[in-house]
Amino acid sequence: MAVDIQKIVSGDQKAFKSLYDQYHIAMYNVCFRMLKQQDEAVDALQETFVKVFQNIHKLENHALLPAWIKKVCVNTCLQLLDKKKKIRWEELDQQTVLLNSRDEEDLIDEVEYEQNMKRIQEGIMVLPEKYRIVFNLYAVEDYSHEEIGQMLGIPNATCRSQYMRAKQKLIEILKKEETHVGSIKKLYSKA
């Protein structure tokens, strides 16, 4: 169902409710992945739609509405995280990132990925905040490292290193799970 932006701009509450109904679940998921807490995600979602309602008149290309709402949502979450505490980003040279490509391939095999999606999502939620944010923005929300660097005010190299560390940490988390150890053993025994 297409949303009539002109009706929203003119203050039509039914049109805004239609917009909210169409996008609130997807935007809640974005908020929850970034903020990790249900109550914070609900607050961010509410603030996102307040901002959307207040600023929708500035949207020149109506075809960009879904991407624009997502950008407002991501920026709202980043602002809430910034208010909560300052994330200390590590520069690229401060720590070596070692990632075994075989480990990544074993864990991200498509069939196994489908079967273990819930565990992977839970693993992402356990990641330290700075890793979780970059990982979600890059791997889940499909932003480039350059876009993420601009959003977070960090160099592209730092963004890339945080993403690599997040992947490494996620692999470590998943390897520690007892149920996952058996599937890794099966994969190595086939080789």
**Domain at 27, CATH number:** 1.10.1740.10
- Using DSSP's 3-state secondary structure scheme, residue 175 falls into helix
68 and 156 part of one domain: no
Check residue 4 and give its pLDDT: 78
pTM assigned to the model:
0.61
Q: Which amino acid is at 98?
A: L
Check residue 91 and give its pLDDT: 56
Rounded-to-integer distance, Cα 165 and Cα 71, Å: 24
Give per-10-residue mean pLDDT for the chain (191 aa). Answer: 78 89 94 91 94 90 89 91 67 51 53 66 86 88 89 88 89 71 52 44
149 and 180 part of one domain: yes
Number of domains into which the chain is organized: 2
Closest CA to 114 of 37, 183, 181, 23: 183
User: 29 lies in which domain range?
Assistant: 5-84
